[in-house]
Structure 1
Amino acid sequence: METTTNKRLLDTIEYPSDLKKLKEEELPQLCQELRDFIIEQTAKNPGHLGASLGVVELTVAMHYVFDTPHDQIVWDVGHQAYAHKILTGRKDRFNTNRKYKGISGFPKMTESEYDAFGAGHASISLSALLGMTVADRMQGNDKKAHVALIGDGAMGGGIAFEALNHIGGTDEDLLVILNDNHIAIDERTGGMNRYLLDITTSHHYNRFKNTLWKLLTLKRYKPNFITRGISSLASLIKGNIARESNLFEHLGFRYFGPTDGHDVQMLVNILQKLKQLKGPKIFHVITKKGKGLPIAEQNQVKFHAPGCFDPHTGEIIEVHEEGKPIKFQDVFGKTLLEIAEQNPKVVGVTPAMLTGCSMTIMRDQMPDRVFDVGIAEQHAVTFSAGMARNGMIPFCNIYSSFLQRGYDQIIHDVALQKLPVIFCIDRAGIVGEDGATHHGAFDLAYLRPIPNMVIASPINETELRNMMFTATQYQDGPFAIRYPRGHGSQQEWRTPLQTLEIGKAEWLYKGEKVVILSLGPLGVVAMNAIKELKKEGINPSLINVRFLKPFDETLFDELLQTYSTIITIEDGVKKGGLNSTVSELIAAKNSHVRLFSIAIPDTFVEHGDLSSLHHELGYDQESIAQTIKACYDHN
């Protein structure tokens, strides 16, 4: 795209107040510069590319029209907000995006006053926006605009529907901008997607589109005619589109759109008019995910977060992983297909994470036995419960931080009724650059108190396979298997499937004085630390716990008789998981064994690369070795 001037407009902008100094005809140039900047930066510092490229014009238009941070904009999903961050004082720090000690990849209230509400998980914006709007009205602050930008699949989440229902029954003055890019992280599914497609292809919409938007954007209207013009528009829409049962109109919103989300000047004109109209409003905007990078437009799933790529061609720079062990996600996907081939009752369920959890491996071979339910964790859990109730064997794969959203369903719909749903909890523990909203820190703590629940965590890829196989034979309640993001530790992992004894731990090393109880893949790190310590004459014992629940109390009783010090290692919060289990047993048995814990402390862990975060938390190999040595010194 050719620029209208020789100067780079983006260099003149630090905050939205600078943006407002531009002429409207300069905004297309700024949008192109913003898009180029995002591509250049994310090409070398990977992040969420596609969604942010799609909302550049919307972002510029919103900050041009609204008086941020006084006016408040809530982003949903937050990974769409890169252009927003660049325009709100973080351009010079954008090269630190998602890096250790750098800026967050999501809106974050503690990072900027322009981030009106934190948003890492999807579908929360409308509830938050309504609460903010009501709070301001109750305090007499009714001169503030409240806007939510929701899209990239987020409108399909259950909490978004709950908020739509609530908002539509009020006369609160707020604006919902629906960024409709016809996709989420994977291909979007469900009735809402079909409904939005129906709107954009409606015969009546296409018949009236030009008339409606010309009416709305006419600049010759004087201010006292603005409301009349908008009301006329609304009446036309109600008379011609709402006759096709416009959902938003029926819910109590004034609906405007759809319109082109990449015409920044039109967006500015429309937003200026909508700003004058009171009450709940929805502005439906059509965008293209990956806009401006042709290969990203054509491969929207891959370019959601593509890693490093050539900024000119878009060609992804492949990370050479020859010799590296397979990722846990791929072991899950391959093993699920293998088990499903042996057992026709096995099905896969995931809430909009087909690619991320590698369930595409089974989907490609058995599409009728894999169910992507959209951004709907609560529904995913109870849908799985229903399938288990009537004889199927559901593998419900949900990221640890997202499983929190279905907690009541786990208790009420699954565990209480002893339904054999298999929860494969991906991204358990510290996940890295996505930060506090995505770390899988809490699953051990929130699952352990639930009756009838089995909780397992494999030390390696082979054990993950065997736990999945074992779970298919368990009929007495839910079976949770948690594992981390990324590579495992084994080159040869595809061994014949075996049934494990539930609740039975495994000895890895037998030593003296100190015994280490490790849950999950951190056991491999502990093994490597012990190998080095043995060279110094330090010889602790190491146990692979395998099952947090039921816990191997028989073995534990033996440990209390043999060792003076216990160290627990887990990739989860200290309160509620393995450390709490051991602490409770020590107290119950009135033992004087000393207990040390390597785990996540009582804090939200920020974003950064895994090696930096593991070192900070004390469970890299060097830190684990230092903890063991310190325990030996005190024996």
Structure 2
Amino acid sequence: VILNDNDMSIAPPVGGMSAYMARLVSGGGYQSLRKVGKSVAKVLPKPLQEAARKAEEYARGMVTGGTLFEELGFYYVGPIDGHDLEALVPILKNVREIKDKPVLVHVVTQKGKGYAPAESAADKLHAVAKFDVVTGQQAKSQPAAPQYTKVFAQELIKQAERDERIIAVTAAMPSGTGLDLFAQRFPQRTFDVGIAEQHAVTFAAGLAADGMKPFCAIYSTFLQRGYDQVVHDVAIQGLPVRFAMDRAGLVGADGATHAGSFDIGFMGALPGMVLMAAADEADLARMVATAVAIDDRPSAFRYPRGEGVGVAIPEIAEPLEIGKGRIVREGTAVAILSFGTRLAECLKAADLLAARGLSATVADARFAKPLDIDMLLRLARDHEALITVEEGAMGGFGAFVLQALAQHGALDRGLKVRTLNLPDIFQDHDKPEIMYADAGLDAEGIVHGALSALGVDNHSMAGRRA
């Protein structure tokens, strides 16, 4: 096992002595001496055997710091300067020959080593857009609207100023989730538990059980690590933990590991969970207020990486009515039901359909659970086709809508339905707008889905999608 330790709270080893000692304890000579010592110790009385074992262990622990790993059953080698290949390679060759027990090689490295801009700002060059190699300056456009993450943080601060029971919890992502801003305002009410999402969820559950109002801010994709605790420690007990799921949907430069593709399905499956998705930054502000007001069950709201659409955010955001969506645009032929920030593209799609002589209703679901059944049945009753649009994988919002339609008999009269969601692949890095176009979730893709449902010939669109 190679532990790549790039946390600079542990200073990297310097000079030749550390590398020499690591090479020494990994080499055959030390191994042989150690085995001889163990053989001799075996014939000694048990108290002396134990004393000899501890003496060897702690002597080596003082040199290498590896006592913890030894207690776990590993033979510990290190710490080693991971940038000194002349020291590292011989050590790796030595440990390759150790056959009698598992080995842990502790390698200390520095993120961005050798590239000055990354050395001085490793967090800024962790996931990057195009950048100038000489200066390290990233080619990022100036935002025209506030970032969703910042909107969340600012709204949570507003709410916390009025309610002292609001607590913020994150798992090693204070800046990524915006809770660094919250921590500046309320340092005693902010908790970063480190890379331990399971603990973050259970800790938030404990706070909720004691009457606090915890907001557990975790990237959608990282919440997967804490799902067992979401089920057993929060949902089964019906505790009012509020999950702020950042990075919902596709994330561009962050890649497939950070894409929030699955939370609609796995959170929406839980009994009692209230699940919301913001269509814009004003909606997000209201969902923060809604989560504060929900005090009898768990809730979650999702929002993407990146900037909003530029709508005005109310000074005082009012809570939403639970399980109620809204009709944004009235039409007759096809209904487009959006869940999340694809709403803007749905409105563009409605304009494109209108240019073809097809009138479209556009609705914003706001809630995947509970669904607005009255609005859903109205859309099904008054339109020939219904299109659902979401920034998530199959088995999410579209599946919830289909099940509800089936349960209420709304599919029995020939309603044509298309569920537009992310493709069943892990998409490669690209600009988010290009990724959504490839997924068929831009305006033209939504038009294509609507025309397909209506049975309208669309050769030009089909060629584009191919």
TM score, norm. by length of structure 2:
0.85
| 2:93 is the counterpart of 1:272 | yes
Q: 1:245 to 1:623 in 2, by over 3 A?
A: closer
Q: 1:228 aligns with which of 26, 32, 39?
A: 32
Report deviation, 1:246.
1.8
1:255 matched to which residue of 2?
76
1:19 matched to which residue of 2?
none
Cα contact 2:384–2:454 (8 A) shared by 1: no
Q: 1:261 to 1:472 in 2, by over 3 A?
A: same
Report deviation, 1:306.
4.7
Letter in 2 for 1:573: A
| 2:244 is the counterpart of 1:419 | no
Greater mean deviation of Cα atoms: 423-432 or 498-507: 423-432
Report deviation, 1:213.
4.0
1:173 matched to which residue of 2?
none
Cα contact 1:538–1:629 (8 A) shared by 2: no
Cα contact 2:280–2:311 (8 A) shared by 1: no
Q: 1:602 to 1:180 in 2, by over 3 A?
A: closer
1:627 matched to which residue of 2?
449
Report deviation, 1:392.
1.4
SS of equivalent to 1:600: coil
Q: 1:309-342: per-residue Cα shift (whole Å, max 9, x none)?
A: 432343x2452315x2222112112222222222
Letter in 2 for 1:355: S
Q: 1:261-295: per-residue Cα shift (whole Å, max 9, x none)?
A: 22110111111111111211111122222211234
Cα contact 1:456–1:480 (8 A) shared by 2: yes
Report deviation, 1:533.
2.8
2:155 matched to which residue of 1?
335
Report deviation, 1:394.
1.1
Q: 1:276 to 1:479 in 2, by over 3 A?
A: same
Report deviation, 1:388.
0.9
Greater mean deviation of Cα atoms: 533-542 or 510-519: 533-542
Q: 1:144-168: per-residue Cα shift (whole Å, max 9, x none)?
A: xxxxxxxxxxxxxxxxxxxxxxxxx
Q: Counterparts in 2 of 1:306-317, with a 5 A limit? A: 306-314=128-136, 316-317=137-138
| 2:59 is the counterpart of 1:240 | yes
Q: 1:565 to 1:308 in 2, by over 3 A?
A: closer
Cα contact 2:128–2:253 (8 A) shared by 1: no
1:4 matched to which residue of 2?
none
Letter in 2 for 1:610: P
SS of equivalent to 2:374: helix
SS of equivalent to 1:383: helix
| 2:373 is the counterpart of 1:559 | no
1:439 matched to which residue of 2?
259
Report deviation, 1:620.
0.8
Q: Counterparts in 2 of 1:64-213, with a 5 A limit? A: 176-182=1-7, 209=18, 212-213=21-22
2:440 matched to which residue of 1?
618
| 2:406 is the counterpart of 1:583 | no
Report deviation, 1:633.
4.8
**CA distance in structure 2 between the partners assigned to 1:347 and 1:510 by the alignment:** 41
Cα contact 2:248–2:302 (8 A) shared by 1: yes
1:215 matched to which residue of 2?
24
Report deviation, 1:401.
1.5
Q: Which aligned segments of 4 or more residues in structure 1 are displaced greater than 4 angstroms?
A: 208-211, 229-237, 632-635
Two-structure CA RMSD over aligned residues (Å): 2.9
**CA distance in structure 2 between the partners assigned to 1:313 and 1:231 by the alignment:** 54
| 2:94 is the counterpart of 1:290 | no
**CA distance in structure 2 between the partners assigned to 1:214 and 1:401 by the alignment:** 40
Cα contact 1:420–1:479 (8 A) shared by 2: yes
Q: Counterparts in 2 of 1:460-609, with a 5 A limit? A: 460-575=280-395, 577-591=396-410, 592=413, 593-609=415-431
2:218 matched to which residue of 1?
398
Q: 1:210-236: per-residue Cα shift (whole Å, max 9, x none)?
A: 762463588xxxxx7474267699988
Q: 1:556 to 1:280 in 2, by over 3 A?
A: same
Report deviation, 1:582.
1.9
SS of equivalent to 2:243: strand
Letter in 2 for 1:585: A
SS of equivalent to 2:308: coil
2:171 matched to which residue of 1?
351
Letter in 2 for 1:528: K
Greater mean deviation of Cα atoms: 549-558 or 243-252: 243-252
Q: 1:270 to 1:425 in 2, by over 3 A?
A: same
Cα contact 2:24–2:30 (8 A) shared by 1: no
Report deviation, 1:400.
1.3
1:386 matched to which residue of 2?
206
**CA distance in structure 2 between the partners assigned to 1:241 and 1:301 by the alignment:** 35
Cα contact 2:418–2:450 (8 A) shared by 1: no
SS of equivalent to 1:320: coil
Give unpaired runs (5+ residues) of structure 1.
1-175, 184-192, 219-223
TM score, norm. by length of structure 1:
0.64
Q: 1:249 to 1:348 in 2, by over 3 A?
A: same
Report deviation, 1:382.
0.7
Cα contact 2:324–2:365 (8 A) shared by 1: yes
Report deviation, 1:632.
4.2
Letter in 1 for 2:68: L
Letter in 2 for 1:493: I
| 2:129 is the counterpart of 1:320 | no
SS of equivalent to 1:292: coil
Q: 1:475 to 1:328 in 2, by over 3 A?
A: same
